Amino acid sequence: MDSHPQSLSSRALACCLGLALSLVSACSSVPTARPDLERPQSAIIQSALPSIVLVVAELPGDKYRFGAGFYDASGRVLTAQHVVAGHTRLSVLPFRPGRPSYSPMDGGIRRYLFENTRELIRASVVREDGVSDIALLEVSAELTERPGLPWAHAEAHPGDRVFALGHPQETPWSFSAGVIGALQYGLIQHDATVGPGSSGGPLLNQRGEVVGINVAQVVSLPVGLSFARPAHIVALALGESSSATTLDLSSPTSSALSCWRAQELALTDVAGCFDWDAEWAQVMSIVQEAATFVPEGELRQKILECGTDTLDKAAWIEHRRYHVTRALDPSYEKSTVRSADPDPDDPELPPEVAKLVAEGLAEWKESDPKDTSFQADFRDPKRLRERLRLGLRVEDTRRVAPNLEWVLLASPNSDGTVAHFSELYVRVGDRWLQRGMPWPDDVAKLPPAWPPPIESFSLQRKFSLASLIKRAKAGKPCLSQPPGTSGPTPGGASGPTGRSGIPGTLTTRPLASGT
């Protein structure tokens, strides 16, 4: 390395910073850009992002380290040597537009890696220099698009505007801007915010050219990293109109993932994830069945009139849409009043219904999962919100009919194991909607060895029958009224652990896994 770095051109300096003496030859093969062409900041970032990768180094003891890297002209990846030091397995995650990412408050890099494990591509170290803290990685051939970043021609000077790209503080594919403060011995000093996860990422000038590789910072934590919700998310959360949408219902997989994420943020979009007509049919089937358990007369007639008003269905759907939007909202959770579990010894229940309730409670108790399982967390909104921040991914799908498809989802437990559950999606027009409580015939089509759905109609039916009959005997509307409304909307008494008795009216369910 030259002993007078201040006399080097910025391109030579980039070589010293980026490849060290043993890798200088790679600089000569990197594409170059016009030295006189400054570009808009947004254009620089958008064109550079596809060149950035997330480098993941698995370490002994089930630990991992992550950092940034970027493609050179040969399709290899440049990164910081300390990112890959001591690895047992090395992978890179290429850039993909539209891939959801999360702030540290919402699960950060751990959640991001869990959800995108299948997109990780194996890599290996070709060269490394511990003195300069630079490593060159070879990526497996399955990665076809590798846009290399150009190296700078013009000299870098104190006061020049620069951009640092990487994954600082668990914020994938982000950038910060700053200025060059000085050209130190073998280093460019700048104040663009960097942090853990930035190491190995490029430092770009205003022409989008690489002037160096970020390898270190003086302070241990970045400053000025804050997070804000986008305007369209705020609008959706407040129930206001927005031209943007968070949902992709074009396939069962995209429906499951986008609906879960909308549920997590309590967005009104989530109300569009369900086949409400199917749920209403379940309500009406329970009404008809409940009438058969009571003698002919006024009580039976009252039950049979349930849902016959032309406005009942619209009001029920409107209430359901509101309910699933607020299911994980802490304020809604605290204000929701849940009734006691159904009692099979209740003298007001017909013997046949009391027997069904007893069977349902026994079935519920037998299937009650351990505290670390997904199902247990599912029944507690606070725990479910924490679980969702760990990530969620689709493991498999199975088409069982032209318009029906089962989806197998995976969610990590806090102890490192993974829980699985199944959801059913039905095609309605050009959308794939979730069938919150699959019919028994649907469950019969579940692939062998797949876990059952969190909820099923066969179990909820038993509690709903009891709820409906008790409401009728008490002179209450069979379709309850939510706070702030005057018209009839379905609710029903709660089943075990706060589940609502009428199908599709659960108070703690996230939408994408069945309401």
Flag whether pLDDT at 507 surpasses 60. no
- pLDDT the model gives residue 70: 94
CA–CA separation, 1 vs 444, rounded Å?
A: 70
Q: Which domain CATH number covers 114?
A: 2.40.10.120
Are the CB atoms for 392 and 257 separated by under 8 Å? yes
| 35 shares its domain with 145 | yes
| 431 shares its domain with 478 | yes
Is the residue at 221 inside a domain? no
Q: What total of structural domains would you count in the chain? A: 2
- pLDDT the model gives residue 187: 83
Are the CB atoms for 299 and 473 separated by under 8 Å? yes
* Residue 37: strand, helix, or coil: coil
| 49 shares its domain with 184 | yes
Is the residue at 224 inside a domain? no
Greater confidence (506 vs 76) lies with 76
| 186 shares its domain with 255 | no
| 207 shares its domain with 238 | no
Which residues constitute the domain of residue 429?
233-513
Question: Whats the size of the chain, residue-wise?
Answer: 515
| 194 shares its domain with 250 | no
pLDDT tens for each residue of 311-338: 888 888 888 888 887 776 665 554 444 4
Are the CB atoms for 430 and 247 separated by under 8 Å? no
The residue-averaged pLDDT of 369-384 equals: 66
CA–CA separation, 287 vs 293, rounded Å?
A: 10
Flag whether pLDDT at 403 surpasses 80. yes
Is the residue at 228 inside a domain? no
- pLDDT the model gives residue 488: 29
Is the residue at 219 inside a domain? no
The residue-averaged pLDDT of 195-223 equals: 81
| 40 shares its domain with 184 | yes
pLDDT tens for each residue of 446-493: 999 999 888 888 888 998 899 889 888 888 877 654 433 333 223 333
The residue-averaged pLDDT of 6-18 equals: 32
Tell me the average pLDDT of the chain.
78
Is the residue at 409 inside a domain? yes
CA–CA separation, 419 vs 336, rounded Å?
A: 28
| 242 shares its domain with 322 | yes
The residue with tokens 């959640």 is 111
Mapping DSSP onto H, E and C, the string for 97-116 reads: CCCCCCCHHHCHHHHHHHHC
| 242 shares its domain with 198 | no
Is the residue at 303 inside a domain? yes
| 147 shares its domain with 244 | no
Lowest mean per-residue pLDDT among 48-62, 135-149, 329-343: 329-343
| 209 shares its domain with 242 | no
pLDDT range class, residue 511, cuts 50, 70, 90: very low
Is the residue at 261 inside a domain? yes
Are the CB atoms for 175 and 164 separated by under 8 Å? yes
The residue with tokens 């088409």 is 399
pLDDT range class, residue 202, cuts 50, 70, 90: very high
pLDDT tens for each residue of 273-302: 999 999 999 999 999 999 999 998 888 998
Gap between the terminal Cα atoms of the chain: 64
| 184 shares its domain with 280 | no
Is the residue at 218 inside a domain? no
pLDDT tens for each residue of 90-122: 999 999 998 888 888 888 888 999 999 999 999
Give, for 278, the enclosing helix (H) or strand (E): helix 276-291
pLDDT range class, residue 226, cuts 50, 70, 90: low
